[in-house]
Amino acid sequence: MQRITGLITILFFFSFSAFSQKANISGVLTDGNDKTAVHNSVVALLTPIDSILYRFTRSDKEGKFNLKNVKPGNYILMTSHNQYADYVDEIMVNEGEKKLGTIALKNKIELLREVIVKSGSIRIKGDTTSYRASDFKVDANANVEELLKKLPGIQVDKNGTIKAMGETVQKVLVDGEEFFGDDPGMAVKNLRADAVKEVQVFNKKSDQAEFTGIDDGNSKKTINLKLKEDKKKGYFGKIDGANQPFTDADSRYNSNLMFSSFKGKRKLSAFLLNGNTGQDGLNWEDSEKFGARENNFSMNMDDDGNVNYEWVGGNNDGEPYINTQNGFIKNTNAGLQYSNKWNDKQTLNVSPKFNKQIYTNNNSRISQTQVGDTQLNEDRTTVTNVDRSNFKLNATYDVKLDSLNSIKFTARTNFYNTESDEFTDGITTGNDGVLKNKQQRLFTTNSDKSSLYAGMLFKHKFAKARRTFSVNSSWSLLNTNSNNFLKSSNESYVDGVLDSKVDVDQNKIGDRSNQNFSANFTYSEPIAKQLSLQFAYQIAFDKGKNNYFTYDYSEDTGKYDEIVTSLSNQFEQTVITQRPNLKLSYNAKKINYSIGSGFGFTTFDLLDKTMDKQYKRNYTNFFPSASFSYRYKSNSDLRVNYQGATRQPTLEQLQPLTNNQDFFNQTLGNPDLKQSFTNSVNIYQNSYDMLTETQIYQGLSFSTTSNLITYSRVIDPETAKTVSKPINTNGNFSGNFYFGYGFKVKKINLNVNLNPSVNYSKTVLSINDKIGNSKNLNTGFGVYLYKSKEKKYDLSLSNRFSFNRNSTTQNDEIKSFNTNNLNLDIGVYLDEKWKLSTDYNLNTRQKTIDFQDNLTNQLWNARLQRTFKKDEFTAYILIRDILNQNIGIQRNVYENTISQEQNDRLKRYVMVGFTWNFKNGGGTSQK
């Protein structure tokens, strides 16, 4: 009995103790997006062993819930609501009060969207969007460019420009490494689509931001092509040849060879392109590759304190301007790409390239210039012949010394030669058609250029996160030697009667060089979890010279040995810049901003050796900068940037030397020029919904420049002779707004894009010592439609309307005209082996008071192809410009001048071609 009584007593105290140790569980339910309270949601506790309901309650109007008298132990907490996804979590309950805090619930629509995106052909992780390449079908043996055209959110235009989520793609990597340098087109045109496993699109941060972990607001839209594993151990390529049949001479032809071999992390690729149809990748528009803009020296400072040196403008060395859309071109283009990585510590990338171009063009230009009450009408034709060759080598060697230190070496060389001749024949008349002047001239060029660059980047990370130190130094040298001949006959008329005639027969010899050394030291220090300070100091030394001599032809000696002192000059320039900089940065998951400023101490030392005159100047500049970015959801962000930057006058603008290449349009340098300063603000918003394939983006920019370098023109209304001189002006500004809206009509599988834009600028001009201004307005609206069905058809239709308006204080009359461009592209699969492609382009240009011709032309092309042997071989026939209406017409409005140009264009021709796509011993392509 005593034992029973004792047992009952123990059980009683045990049950009392257990009852007294129960707990209360509380929390708040909110919407995961807008943080509003979620009421009337079931909150339940389940036992983990058998998932039996133990206790439940509902959230109140404030989203609060409270589960009382819960036994200590392990439970499963679950919420249930008809609009929100179930929340499930394992919790441990001890005695007393257990506060779970705020529980963010996910809307079922949002959850469904994530499930679809992650489990389908497209995955989104952070700011990276990945496409599974095999899920987007392209033609057999198609290149990566054709694959990109199929991917939602990516567009590729006819010029090969790639846009992803509304932004222009500036880099295309292959397995994270550069492919043929920094040219996006080389990878997408030369790699086969069936070699790609995944296409990744992201904003690549600057090297400095990736190193420090501090977002500096500088990023480039980048595509990374991840190759299939089996493609990393084999080879593939293409041989393509086409020729115009039934012609004896000057037939159209193209021959292309592309080859790629991959073995692990070693990549070897080569290409050889030869043709005379102006095919893609065979042009001189890339100034970095071929030096087309490297004619004079300029220095520019950006908001990060970087000093950039380049040669811009000028024509003393006689480099002709070439637009490869016009004229007739024969090209040979070859390149080799080798990259390898050893032990994930050493990376080598080498890319030599060669290009040779033979170019001819006939250009006719009519222009009207208003000078007070006088209108000058110029009618001019120019025949240009150019023979150019270029060799370029890029090499980088990156070494990770250890986990904290790395060093990267970069070397670039560029050697190019230009031989050209340009014959011009022109007349200028007045309002009533009375002759003002007449000119004939021949200008021949022989120019050699060489460019050398060496850079070193050392990076060190300290043990403390985000504490870093780096040194970035570079040296560059650019030399130009030119030997040119000018022969011209120049006649001036008064009241239509010959008044004077000047014949010119001169040899012009130029010797120009620019050498630069710069070093940038940067230290970053974290001052809080999300705040960092960055200190930078940069010093740059630049020395340039320009020796230019002009010699008249001597009848006595039969040589060019009489120096023309007024057209000869020796000029030197030394610029030393020191730039301390301080920046505060805040980096969080969604919000990043930075604000900072630098001071620039610049010393100019200009020496006119010919006149024995020296110009010395010292400048102290203040460079404020600010950036802000807000990523409010995946693939949606808002960015705001401000910067203040200076731009120095070019060496040619400073050198007091007259350029008389065009006798009736001469230029003269101005050593009294000041540097200009530009304030610019850019606002950009982008939102892309991958599930609905809907995109909205807007961009707004505004800039104003003080001491902008423009050209003052003194125009003689009697002879129509113009002398231009660079001067500093104030009151210049420009603004730009563009908007894009893209969506998909899923019922009919139609992609639609709408793109309106507005550009406005005001430029101060000086004509005959009278200060005025020129105002330009350009508005446009574009529509793009695209629809396709696999192995059935591809259809795209686009239209772009533009309106141009110009007014100047020199002329009360407003110049305005509109243009319209309509494009239609159709591809039809006749069966598994046959495909017919055709494209049609309608260009309409409104006639104006100045140009009475309403110029409309139609371009129509077609291609028929058939594949053989499991799509390994393709035979085709193509016809270009079926209607024989390809004309190169361009109108321009600048200050008080409106002009219209017409150039040669390649007209109707037929080609028959054959393509062999091979890979790993001739394996078949994936369909």
Average pLDDT over residues 380-398: 93
Under the banding of pLDDT at 50, 70 and 90, the label for residue 319 is low
pLDDT at 925 over 50: no
Show Cβ contacts of residue 435 under 8 Å, excluding neighbours closer than 6 positions.
Answer: 427, 428, 429, 493, 496
Under the banding of pLDDT at 50, 70 and 90, the label for residue 850 is low
CA gap 318, 295 in Å, rounded = 9
Under the banding of pLDDT at 50, 70 and 90, the label for residue 91 is confident
pLDDT at 785 over 50: yes
Per-residue pLDDT of 473-512, as tens digits, reads 999 999 999 999 999 999 999 988 999 999 999 999 999 9
DSSP 118: H
CA gap 395, 718 in Å, rounded = 57
Which stretch of 383-392, 547-556, 850-859 has the lowest confidence by average pLDDT?
Answer: 850-859
pLDDT at 723 over 80: yes
Amino acid 866 reads R
Average pLDDT over residues 600-617: 88
With tokens 């990393």, the residue in question is 232
CA gap 824, 838 in Å, rounded = 8
pLDDT at 288 over 50: no
CA gap 658, 656 in Å, rounded = 7
Backbone φ/ψ region at 318: left (φ over 0), alpha (ψ -120 to 50), beta? left
- Residue 291 is predicted with a pLDDT of 28
- Residue 280 is predicted with a pLDDT of 41
pLDDT at 526 over 50: yes
- Residue 621 is predicted with a pLDDT of 82
Average pLDDT over residues 387-406: 92
> Are 164 and 153 within 8 A, CB to CB?
yes
SS (H, E, C) 340-356: EEECCCEEEEEEEEEEE
CA gap 32, 106 in Å, rounded = 5
CA gap 728, 322 in Å, rounded = 29
Average pLDDT over residues 615-637: 84
With tokens 């001067």, the residue in question is 727
Q: How many CA atoms lie within 13 A of 101 on its CB side?
A: 2
Query: What are the phi and psi torsion angles at 229 (to 5°)?
Result: -60, -40
> Are 341 and 737 within 8 A, CB to CB?
no
pLDDT at 107 over 60: yes
CA gap 756, 780 in Å, rounded = 6
- Residue 158 is predicted with a pLDDT of 63
CA gap 422, 293 in Å, rounded = 19
Backbone φ/ψ region at 611: left (φ over 0), alpha (ψ -120 to 50), beta? alpha
Nearest by Cα to 744 from 773, 708, 787, 706: 787
Under the banding of pLDDT at 50, 70 and 90, the label for residue 159 is low
> Are 598 and 623 within 8 A, CB to CB?
yes
With tokens 């990748």, the residue in question is 281
Mean pLDDT of the chain: 83
CA gap 544, 571 in Å, rounded = 8
DSSP 206: P
pLDDT at 628 over 50: yes
Average pLDDT over residues 781-796: 86
User: What is the β-pairing status of strands 346-371 and 897-903?
Assistant: antiparallel
- Residue 473 is predicted with a pLDDT of 95
Which stretch of 2-11, 29-38, 639-648, 676-685 has the lowest confidence by average pLDDT?
Answer: 2-11
Higher pLDDT, 387 or 10: 387
Per-residue pLDDT of 32-64, as tens digits, reads 777 889 988 999 988 887 778 888 899 998 999
CA 661-666-668 angle, to 5 degrees, is 115
Sort 14 into a burial class: Cβ within 10 Å, 0-12 / 13-18 / 19+.
exposed
- Residue 14 is predicted with a pLDDT of 39
Average pLDDT over residues 508-522: 93
pLDDT at 174 over 90: no
Average pLDDT over residues 353-375: 89
Output the six-digit token pair for 622.
Answer: 């203040």
- Residue 2 is predicted with a pLDDT of 46
Average pLDDT over residues 610-636: 85
Nearest by Cα to 280 from 188, 359, 388, 218: 188
Per-residue pLDDT of 663-696, as tens digits, reads 999 999 898 888 888 999 999 898 877 667 788 8
Q: What percentage of the chain exceeds 70 in pLDDT?
A: 86
Per-residue pLDDT of 537-557, as tens digits, reads 999 999 989 999 999 999 999
Q: How far is CA 155 from CA 566, 642, 745, 766, 786, in A?
A: 54, 29, 17, 43, 11
Q: Break the chain down into helix, strand, coil percent, rounded to 5.
A: 10, 65, 25
Amino acid 270 reads A
Show Cβ contacts of residue 97 under 8 Å, excluding neighbours closer than 6 positions.
Answer: 23, 24, 26
Per-residue pLDDT of 65-75, as tens digits, reads 999 888 888 88
CA gap 445, 485 in Å, rounded = 7
Average pLDDT over residues 715-744: 91
Number of helical (H) and strand (E) elements in the chain, helices listed first: 7, 51
Query: What are the phi and psi torsion angles at 758 (to 5°)?
Result: -140, 130
pLDDT at 185 over 90: no
Output the six-digit token pair for 115.
Answer: 């499930």
SS3 748: coil
pLDDT at 285 over 60: no
List the beta bridge partners of residue 45.
Answer: 55, 77
Nearest by Cα to 488 from 570, 414, 552: 552
Show Cβ contacts of residue 600 under 8 Å, excluding neighbours closer than 6 positions.
Answer: 301, 577, 578, 579, 619, 620, 621, 622, 623, 646
SS (H, E, C) 434-502: CEEEEEEEEEEEEEEEEEEEEEEEEEEECCCCCCEEEEEEEEEEEEEEEEEEEEEEEEEEECCEEEEEE
Average pLDDT over residues 905-926: 75
Under the banding of pLDDT at 50, 70 and 90, the label for residue 293 is very low
> Are 487 and 504 within 8 A, CB to CB?
yes
> Are 178 and 349 within 8 A, CB to CB?
yes
Under the banding of pLDDT at 50, 70 and 90, the label for residue 310 is very low
Q: How far is CA 560 from CA 486, 506, 553, 564, in A?
A: 11, 7, 4, 10
Per-residue pLDDT of 209-234, as tens digits, reads 677 666 665 678 888 988 887 777 77
- Residue 21 is predicted with a pLDDT of 65
What long-range pairs does 115-124 form, CB within 8 A, spacing at least 24?
116/691, 117/690, 117/691, 122/152, 122/690, 124/634, 124/635, 124/690
DSSP 143: B
